[in-house]
Amino acid sequence: MKLRLRGSAMAGALLLLSATAHSQSTAQTVAPWAYPINTPGAPPPPAATDDGSAKHVPGSSQAFTLPQIRDLFSPPDWHPDDHPAMPDIVGHGRRPAVRACGYCHLPNGQGRPENSGLAGLPAAYIVQQMADYKNGLRKSSEPRMGPPAAMLAIGKSANDAEVKAAAEYFASLKPKPWIRVLESGTVPKTRVAGGMLVPAEPVGMEPIGQRIIEMPEDLERTELRDSASGFVAYVPIGSIQKGEALVTTGGDDKTLRCSICHGADLKGLAAVPSIAGRSPSYIVRQLYDMQNGARNGPWTQLMKEAVAKLTTEDMVAIAAYLASRTP
């Protein structure tokens, strides 16, 4: 009798477990504002519709049609004067599997919230990250988020010569201020489009909570892939100062002083990357990915102690402070 009871209790527990596993596979468990997933069937961003006409952006004499702008193997270069000539892999990639690096990271390497700014990162660091993608040591905690999944595939397919050319190119660029950080109690309501947060329609406001809401300054220019139109990041009130304390003091054994490895100005040291002035939603994703092991390359081991005890609130504060620094 006793045994049978225990057996059915066990079956119940198993049922519960499988129910949990099921709900985890459908509901998003990682912060949805940091890992935006396109809603299936949702409309694309309200960018200019394709009427076949040539598009323009401020400060550029170039003109491109929408199909040209969306060409994964020849993305638009609106401002060819703000960067050196791109190597072929950055400007065109290699069909079928290696999309042009400049499509997502932009020709000037400034990047977008759903990917990463590469301008000025050490070449050796870029090479190491590409090896980590290739070897399956760098993944995303949210495999359903499109852009990181695309990067994983590109990392698997890019060859050594392509990686070297791209690394040298992006390392030679000087990062520009790109993200305006604003502390605010309320934020525009958002929806996900193209792997990124954009203002919802109808327009409305909501409390920020413990989130960072990063979106284009000018959605239409971002949709036209204008590499001169940056982003605004709303962060919780008080988060910049809280982040500064964690970054500069380690916060009473919570973490390590970041300057030890990332340099006094946080702009990188030898092969350790800059963390100043970078996309805060990207920074939160990386801290979280390193904490839970989705990102676990040989150099990631140096970050383990710094991330081990961080809460989501700490990550938000750290990212808010880092993004507010000049790159």
Task: Give the whole-angstrom CA distance, residue 289 versus residue 295.
Answer: 5
Task: Give the whole-angstrom CA distance, residue 225 versus residue 112.
Answer: 10
Cβ atoms 110, 230 nearer than 8 A: yes
Residue 306 binds ligand HEC (CB under 6 A) = yes
Closest CA to 243 of 322, 310, 326, 327: 322
* Segment interacting with ligand HEC (CB under 6 A) among 6-14, 213-221, 228-236, 293-301: 293-301
Which of residues 11, 161, 237, 302 is near ligand HEC by CB under 6 A? 302
Give the Å distances, CA to CA, from 190 to 28, 54, 113, 193, 225: 17, 29, 14, 9, 20
Which of residues 31, 57, 66, 126 is near ligand HEC by CB under 6 A? 126
Task: Give the whole-angstrom CA distance, residue 129 versus residue 138.
Answer: 8
Which of residues 108, 129, 227, 279 is near ligand HEC by CB under 6 A? 129
The CB-of-173 to ligand HEC minimum distance in angstroms stands at 13
Task: Give the whole-angstrom CA distance, residue 193 versus residue 50.
Answer: 17
Cβ atoms 231, 309 nearer than 8 A: no
Which of residues 34, 318, 320, 323 is near ligand HEC by CB under 6 A? 318
- Residues comprising the chain, all counted: 327
Of residues 56-95, those binding ligand HEC (CB under 6 A): 89
Q: What is the token pair recorded at 154?
A: 């590109």
Residue 284 binds ligand HEC (CB under 6 A) = no
With a CB cutoff of 8 Å and minimum separation 6, the contacts of 3 are none
The CB-of-214 to ligand HEC minimum distance in angstroms stands at 14
Of residues 230-249, those binding ligand HEC (CB under 6 A): 247
Which of residues 36, 91, 148, 280 is near ligand HEC by CB under 6 A? 148
Q: What is the token pair recorded at 176?
A: 């520009």
Residue 258 binds ligand HEC (CB under 6 A) = yes
* Segment interacting with ligand HEC (CB under 6 A) among 77-85, 144-152, 178-186, 210-218: 144-152
Which of residues 98, 197, 212, 316 is near ligand HEC by CB under 6 A? 98
Residue 101 binds ligand HEC (CB under 6 A) = yes
Query: Look-up: residue for tokens 């502390």?
Result: 183
Which of residues 76, 109, 199, 273 is near ligand HEC by CB under 6 A? 273
Cis amide prior to 202 (ω within 30 degrees) = yes
* Segment interacting with ligand HEC (CB under 6 A) among 78-86, 102-110, 185-193, 199-207: 102-110
Query: Look-up: residue for tokens 């390497």?
Result: 109
The CB-of-163 to ligand HEC minimum distance in angstroms stands at 6
Residue 106 binds ligand HEC (CB under 6 A) = no
Which of residues 154, 192, 213, 240 is near ligand HEC by CB under 6 A? 154
Residue 285 binds ligand HEC (CB under 6 A) = yes
Which of residues 35, 64, 78, 103 is near ligand HEC by CB under 6 A? 103
Task: Give the whole-angstrom CA distance, residue 195 versus residue 18.
Answer: 30
Return the C-alpha torsion angle 37, 40, 46, 48, nearest 10: 110
With vertex at residue 154, the alpha carbon angle to CA 46 and CA 261, rounded to the nearest 5 degrees, is 95
Cβ atoms 287, 315 nearer than 8 A: yes
Judged by the rule CB under 6 A, the positions of this chain that interact with ligand HEC are 89, 98-99, 101, 103-105, 114-116, 118, 121, 126, 128-130, 138, 140, 147-148, 150-151, 154, 158, 162, 166, 247, 255-256, 258, 260-262, 272-273, 275, 283, 285-287, 295, 297, 299-300, 302-303, 306, 318
